[in-house]
Structure 1
Amino acid sequence: MSLLDRVRDLLRKPSEPLLTPDSPGLSVVAEAFEVAEADSAVLARSHLWEQEKPAVLRHHLTLPADRVAEAAGILAQDGWELRTVSESDGVRTVHALRVQRLDALHCAQERSRMAGLAQRLGGDSLGWDALQPNSSR
């Protein structure tokens, strides 16, 4: 691909708006808060999830307030954004967010990774959900 072709690709408008964790009209299309339920089952039972489209994968974690910055630094290396939802008695509830295409394998891998990270930092992983823009489903 020539330099001119690359520039044209960059200037070309995408057919869909770019999805971000702050995109308007996002709604939950799948959720996994039962440890015993397989991520493949979660996705299989979802009637709202559009497999071919990207989604915001959102992990729900609790972490000691003094470890949140450390967690944010670790997660940022792989494109995750950490946002505080609430804080009580030195424990923060946070969301780890990233836009990606969902599949059972990657959801399971990330669930395991979040659980391990939360445990190492003295917290807990509560589960995950996925958000996609409302459409004519």
Structure 2
Amino acid sequence: MSWLEKLRDLVRKPEEAVLDPDAPGLATVVSAFDPAVADSAVLAESPGWASEAPAVLVHHLLLPADRIEEAAAILAQDGYDLREQSRDGDRVLAHARRVQVLDALHCAQERSRMAGLAQRLGGDAPGWEARQPGDSPTASA
């Protein structure tokens, strides 16, 4: 092994375990549905959130049924999976899900982005939640 390969091995970050958004045992550890409360405050007040661990970030979207495919295509560009949850007439409750490590800045940016997307499509983005494995010492159901 060359000295360059050894150096690369020293500075290489350990690979993070991949979190499956559909894994059993995921618990909601933080949720933000009040637009008057900053995402940083929501995260700071959540005793169940493991800040260094990946989480499934789930944005709740209320969209017109005829715009779901368009929303899914837009969101897929940034690694989101859009899942329909329920229908009420021509309105659909959908969850945009992505695995990431959470921080206040990115949560706020994504919340704003989801609100903008929902508005452009004639819908609403009432809030988000994050899920982490329920067997972690800091997670709560």
Q: TM-score, normalised by structure 2?
A: 0.85
**Per-residue deviation, residues 25-67 of structure 1 (Å, max 9, x unmatched):** 1001110000000000000000000011000000001000000
Amino acid at match of 1:123: G
Separation in 1, partners of 2:24, 2:89:
32
Give secondary structure in 1 for the equivalent of 2:18.
coil
> What corresponds to 1:49 in structure 2?
49
The unaligned stretches of length 5 or more in structure 1 are none
Amino acid at match of 2:40: S
Give secondary structure in 2 for the equivalent of 1:43.
helix
Quick one: percent identity of the two aligned structures? 62
> What corresponds to 1:92 in structure 2?
92
| Residue 17 (structure 1) shift | 4.5
> What corresponds to 1:115 in structure 2?
115
> What corresponds to 2:137 in structure 1?
136
> What corresponds to 1:124 in structure 2?
124
Amino acid at match of 1:70: E
**Per-residue deviation, residues 63-95 of structure 1 (Å, max 9, x unmatched):** 000000000000000000000000011100000
| Residue 104 (structure 1) shift | 0.3
Separation in 1, partners of 2:59, 2:99:
12
| Residue 136 (structure 1) shift | 2.5
2:80 is aligned with 1:80: yes
Amino acid at match of 1:111: R
Q: How many residues align?
A: 129
> What corresponds to 1:71 in structure 2?
71
> What corresponds to 2:106 in structure 1?
106
**Per-residue deviation, residues 5-39 of structure 1 (Å, max 9, x unmatched):** 9xxx9xxxx6x752021012100111000000000
Separation in 2, partners of 1:100, 1:71:
20
Separation in 2, partners of 1:24, 1:125:
26
The unaligned stretches of length 5 or more in structure 2 are none
Amino acid at match of 1:71: A
